Amino acid sequence: MDFFVQQLVNGVTLGSVYALIALGYSMVYGILKLLNFAHGEVYMMGAFIGYFVLTALGGASSPVLPVAPLLVLMFLAGMLGAGLLGVVIERFAYRPLRNAPRIAPLISAIGVSFFLQASALLLFSAQFRTYDTPQLIPFSTGIEAGPLRISLVRMLVIGSAIVLMVALTLLVSRTRLGKAMRAVSYDREAAAMMGIDVDRVIVATFFIGSVLAGAAGVMVGLVFERVFHFMGFIAGLKGFTAAVIGGIGNIPGAMLGGLLIGLAEAFSASYISSTFQNLIVFGILIVIMLVRPSGLLGSPALTKV
Amino acid sequence: MPRIGTDEWVEQQELRTEYYTGLTAPARRAFDRVGPGPRFFAFLAICAAFPFLTDSPFLIRVGVNVLLFALLALGLNIVVGWAGLLDLGYIAFYGFGAYMYAWVSSSQFDVHLPTELAIPLVVTASALLGLLLGLPSWRLVGDYLAITTLFFAQIFVELALNLDRINLPWRDQPLDLTGGPNGIPGLDPMRILTIDFLQTRDYFFLLLVVFALVVVGLYYVNESRTGRGWRASREDPLAAELMTTPVNRLKLLAFAMGAAIAGLTGSIFAAVQTGVFPQNFEVTLLIMIYAALILGGAGSISGAVLGAVIVASVPEILRTPENARLLFYAALVAVLVATVRPWQRLAAVAAATVVFGVAVHELVSLAWPAGDEGASAGGSLGWLLDSWILVPAEHQDTIGNVGFVLMVAGLLALTVLGGDRRLVVLVPTIYLAAFVWENRLIAQPSVTRQLLFGALLVAMMTRRPHGLLGTPRVENPI
Amino acid sequence: MKKSRFWLLLALVAALAVVAASCGGDDDDEGEPAAEDTTAGDTGGAEAVDCTASIGIMGPFTGDVAAIGQEQLNWAKFAVDQFNEGRGTSFELVEGDTQLDPAQAATVAPQFVSNSDIVAVVGPAGSQEVEAVGSIYGNAGIAFISPSATATNLTEDFETFFRVVPTDADQGPTDATYMADELGAQNVLIIDDQTSYSTGLADSTTAALEEAGVTVSRESVSQDQTDFSALASGVADDTDVVFLPWQVAANAQLFGNQLAEQGKDAVIFGSDGLFSPDDFKIAGSYVSSFAPDITGLDDPAIQELVAAFEDEYGDFGTFGPPTYAATTVVMEAATAVCEGGEEPSRETILEQMGQTDLPESILGQPIRFTENGDIEDATFFIFQVAEDGSYELVQ
């Protein structure tokens, strides 16, 4: 039982990171019907910004600030930086392709992704950077009940992911901007006719989605420590997968999809075999897709006749 | 979004009225009058002459890579371009073909089939696998199909990596199917009838023959009832179904044909490389094949080929720093000539850039002598740039990094600014670009190569959203 | 109104990026360029030789293992600078990025063959890449020397192939003996990272351990994995030693941390891929290495060299120093050809490299090759990681 709970926590930690990345994919898709393949690189940049803030403030072993404000600063900088990057990408790589075939932005997204990866290699070098979290928050702090251990860092990551997801849900369901986003997602032309500034809504969507990716980057830095130029590639694929599994364009779906993949990875690695972990996860996901062809929470595609 | 009230025919009408203008118009009209057949044979003739014009093994190898890419893009074009199915599992068929060839022509299982038998076997098996993995397309559409097929691609790599120690109840030794991360080295070279394929050059001709056959075949398939059926089910599956088009069968056929071509290409690739390794079939290659197809124009045979030529050769040209440098400055000049008009203004910009550079150079030399004492990269342009570009002796990397970021900001600003502001930003950006190149990028050719390739993809897609040779079409909203 | 907001945004981006960029550059740039104040560690004081040649270097300089490739590239650049400085030669490096993909390696190799300036090649990094390019270089008669390909069969299969690192067959038994005899391990868990280096080493270690009567279980995990906590918590309680034949030291550091986080007390034993005092510092772990001292723990000459490198390029792990050694072997061979009054060519260098005899090297031991091109007298050394993260030689 303890082992099960332990794996649950491991899975939820990983899953909440995937979920945050998936949210960015899903939001953008909901509005533009566009797969933003450069999203993983935004997450990578967020992780790097968090790392540089940490280093500038003395590093993990001798920080000049107490831990709490330090973490807040890292998150804020990572999120803001990633958000701005997302907006710039939208403006220069996607807006010119607004009315192009649906597959064209995919290639420009891949171009952006190559460019950002190479830029990171050029600017930050290829070395693995590490947040060195145990120096900052020892893994021994946290809940320890018999064999069950939940470190503070994990609780922090899961907690902030929940806060961000609740905030996003409130934003989408309660604010004017959220209403506008839903309207644009439902029918862009009609929304424009109703006086909604579609461009502004799209920019806001990219900003929010990228902010979440930036937060995910800092979280990964904290809990999985390593930061490097290629980290966005795999994470981007996972986020994309999570978004589609949940029903792409559907916000609770993206959260669910992320958690599901995180849990599937943790449980298959610990209960079955780490060698075939990815195989098992992909197998599960294929079955889900065949049973629910529009994702877990997605509505069946409407065909306009 | 199509303009309201404009349909495909009307858009084409506009294209017709514009037609060709300017100096090149007669040449382009003449090119159009030559039919696709002669054009294709002219292209083949040029390709066939290529190995006789050079004896550089590198160029031949790049030629082989281009043809491999072209075949892969053509196969993908059937599924993505014609049938409109987003198949991200395509790379698995390529890999399967390669591994299949390895199984029947190496010491892995001590099976050495003659090539005449091995290739049909590989193609048939790949096509069957295509049928099988195409089945989800009956149920899944759009991006849901894409992700499911992407799982197949990833599963393929996982299997290739891990099927080297399979414990079977009826065997004492674990079965080694794929060689794991080590792959299967030491494949037999191909031998068709009496011709032995030993050198890369031989495979170039083999690939060229296969390429010609595939292109001709695809051309006729596209013109046939099947081709029309694919396009109909791509545009509107529901309507096509109602018009008695067998949509599901056509989808499977597209998958199977694409897989057959990919499998065939894979077997030749395996023979060229004399081995198969899991790293050959990763998602990055899939991305490059997609880039080739969409850059060239999905749905067009010549587009797929052109895209393959670009995607397979540009990164190779960029490998050599000196080439990359020349290309960089040539592109800079070309963009300036193409975008700054009239010529008086262009001349003013050029003069201003030179003056700006010299001024910055002199000012910095006065204020901070170390700012220009570093060793410049030399090369054929070195003497031209020496008194114009600063090469700091200290903190060269840091200054270069800052310059890089500012340059990117400047370039982005140029794409949105108009009028005088543009000119104000233009001059320092050009200087900055040259500065970053000489100080930072030239020392890192491998990274620069990726950087430029990424920028090229973005620039080409935003200029030509339909691909270089694609035709605009109105898409159904999903 | 709209325009001004845009400018504001652009200014913000630029400012942010400048901050990030300058942070990123810091490591690489502190102090003067180092080449000026140090002489070549192993060859100082010789007469200036007029010798010009280009040396190709292949490695994964971009892509997912760029950390390894860039480390190799930086050390090769460093070796060339030092050598030219100390000996008055003018060697040049030509780089060819392979991303660890054999197909790309097989495109780079003909490029190097076509470039008549290139007399020898350092690399490629991976064993499968060597498989893919071996016959290309063999046919062209070009010597190529890998700083990291360890699959045992390579030197037998390819005539012009050399390497400065010992093979999997050398390392596995040494590590296994130490685990069984010195650590008294009963149950060993071997986790490979699904690379050719890793599975080869895992296989040879498994065989040696089982011979010594140790119970071995085997897992494997992808090198690209983000999280090892599920794997770490799945480590059985009676496991004494976890053997990690991995290439990415940062991964092992995370695995070690997560092992502690999940409350496991198994000892980590790393292969030479983890020998990286900057990245892997789990106290109490063991790491083996193909050299007694590549990071300058004791030897002052190596210390000086390492300090000079770190000034210019920053941290490094286990992949750099062998690249330095490999590049030096090539340059020594070329210099010897020049000193004999000949132009360095592919044939002369190939011949000269077979006769390499460096009494001292950055690897802390002499470099000589067997007839096959393997390094002579390969021995493995084992280090323990102390509480403060420093490495101590224990065998």
- pLDDT (tens digit per residue) in C50-88: 889 999 999 999 988 899 999 999 999 999 999 999 998
**pLDDT, position C48:** 74
**pLDDT, position B13:** 61
What distances in angstroms separate CA B199 from CA B69, B114, B205, one per listed residue?
Answer: 19, 18, 10
Nearest to A10 among C66, C69, C229 (CB): C229
Is C28 in Cβ contact with A126 (below 8 Å)?
no
Q: What is the secondary structure of C113-164 as a DSSP string?
A: HH-TTEEEEE--SSHHHHHHHHHHHHHHT-EEEESS---TTHHHH-TTEEES
What tokens were used for B45? 């003739």
Contacts of C14 in chain A (CB under 8 A): none
Contacts of A127 in chain C (CB under 8 A): 27, 67, 70-71, 314-315
Q: Pick the range with the lowest mean pLDDT from B98-102, B185-189, C12-16.
A: C12-16
How many other CB atoms are found less than 10 A from the CB of residue A200?
13
Higher confidence at residue C15 or residue C373?
C373
* Smallest Cα distance from A127 to chain B, Å: 14
Mean pLDDT calculated for residue range A298-303: 63
Q: Is the pLDDT of residue B299 over 70?
A: yes
Q: Is the pLDDT of residue A281 over 60?
A: yes
Contacts of A80 in chain C (CB under 8 A): 16
- pLDDT (tens digit per residue) in B301-328: 999 999 999 999 999 988 888 888 888 8
Task: Scan residues 280-299 of B and list those with Cβ closer than 8 Å to A.
Answer: 283, 287, 290-291, 294-295, 298
Mean pLDDT calculated for residue range A88-100: 90
Q: Please state whether beta strands C143-146 and C118-122 pair in parallel, antiparallel, or not at all (unpaired).
A: parallel
Whole-structure pTM value: 0.90
**pLDDT, position A300:** 67
pLDDT classification of C30: cutoffs 50, 70, 90:
very low
Q: Which of B55, B401, B422 to mutate to test the interface with C (most CBs of C within 10 A)?
A: B401
Cα C218–chain centre separation: 25
Neighbors of chain B by Cβ distance (3+ pairs < 8 Å): A, C
Task: Scan residues 4-33 of A and list those with Cβ closer than 8 Å to C.
Answer: 6-7, 10-11, 13-14, 17
* Smallest Cα distance from C302 to chain B, Å: 26
Q: Is the pLDDT of residue C26 over 80?
A: no
Is B185 in Cβ contact with C101 (below 8 Å)?
no
The SS3 call for residue C80 is helix
pLDDT classification of C15: cutoffs 50, 70, 90:
low
**Smallest Cα–Cα separation from B448: which of B330, B329, B328, B331?**
B328
pLDDT classification of B152: cutoffs 50, 70, 90:
very high
Contacts of A226 (CB under 8 A, 6+ apart): A128, A129, A130, C250, C251, C253, C254
Cα B446–chain centre separation: 18
Contacts of A125 in chain C (CB under 8 A): 24, 27-28, 70, 314
How many other CB atoms are found less than 10 A from the CB of residue C156?
11
Task: Scan residues 45-104 of C and list those with Cβ closer than 8 Å to B.
Answer: 61-63, 73, 95-97, 99-103
* CB of B374 less than 8 A from some CB of C: no
* CB of B424 less than 8 A from some CB of A: no
Round the average pLDDT of chain C to a whole number and report it: 84
Q: Pick the range with the lowest mean pLDDT from B10-24, B108-122, B228-242, C73-87.
A: B10-24
Q: Is the pLDDT of residue B9 over 70?
A: no
* CB of B468 less than 8 A from some CB of C: no
Nearest to B295 among A107, A119, A286 (CB): A107
CA distance C76 to C325: 9
Mean pLDDT calculated for residue range B72-96: 95
CA distance C190 to B245: 56
* CB of A235 less than 8 A from some CB of C: yes
Q: Is the pLDDT of residue C12 over 70?
A: no
CA distance B57 to A172: 59
Using an 8 Å Cβ cutoff, are B413 and B460 in contact? no
Q: Is the pLDDT of residue B76 over 90?
A: yes
Contacts of B370 in chain C (CB under 8 A): none
Nearest to A149 among C13, C231, C262 (CB): C262
* Smallest Cα distance from B273 to chain C, Å: 6
Contacts of B239 in chain A (CB under 8 A): 305
What tokens were used for C145? 């020397």
Nearest to B445 among C14, C29, C95 (CB): C95
Using an 8 Å Cβ cutoff, are B38 and B46 in contact? no
Burial class (CB in 10 A: 0-12, 13-18, 19+), B38: exposed
Q: Is the pLDDT of residue B384 over 80?
A: no
Q: Pick the range with the lowest mean pLDDT from A230-239, C55-64, C288-297.
A: C288-297
Neighbors of chain A by Cβ distance (3+ pairs < 8 Å): B, C
Using an 8 Å Cβ cutoff, are B182 and C128 in contact? yes
Contacts of B272 in chain C (CB under 8 A): 106
Is B458 in Cβ contact with A106 (below 8 Å)?
no
Is A248 in Cβ contact with B461 (below 8 Å)?
no
pLDDT classification of C298: cutoffs 50, 70, 90:
confident
Q: Which of B163, B441, B449, B462 to mutate to test the interface with A (most CBs of A within 10 A)?
A: B462
Q: Please state whether beta strands C161-163 and C143-146 pair in parallel, antiparallel, or not at all (unpaired).
A: parallel
- pLDDT (tens digit per residue) in A6-33: 899 999 999 999 999 999 989 998 888 8
* Smallest Cα distance from C10 to chain B, Å: 7
Q: Which of A121, A123, A124, A203 to mutate to test the interface with B (most CBs of B within 10 A)?
A: A123
Contacts of B140 in chain A (CB under 8 A): 289-290, 293
Contacts of C196 in chain B (CB under 8 A): 180-183
CA distance C122 to C69: 12
* Smallest Cα distance from B96 to chain C, Å: 16
- pLDDT (tens digit per residue) in B395-449: 788 888 899 999 999 988 888 887 778 888 888 888 888 888 888 888 888 999 9
Q: Is the pLDDT of residue B371 over 90?
A: no
Contacts of C380 (CB under 8 A, 6+ apart): C166, C170, C171, C174, C175, C272, C288, C289, C290
pLDDT classification of A214: cutoffs 50, 70, 90:
very high
Contacts of B154 (CB under 8 A, 6+ apart): A278, A282, B283
The SS3 call for residue C167 is coil
Nearest to B275 among C25, C101, C131 (CB): C131
Q: Is the pLDDT of residue A258 over 90?
A: yes
**pLDDT, position C29:** 37
What distances in angstroms separate CA C295 from CA A115, C15, C278, C307, C379, one per listed residue?
Answer: 34, 38, 10, 9, 17
Q: Is the pLDDT of residue B375 over 70?
A: no
Q: Is the pLDDT of residue B343 over 90?
A: no
Is B465 in Cβ contact with A97 (below 8 Å)?
yes
Is A29 in Cβ contact with B143 (below 8 Å)?
yes
ipTM (interface pTM): 0.89
Q: How many CB pairs under 8 A join B and C?
A: 129
* CB of B315 less than 8 A from some CB of C: no
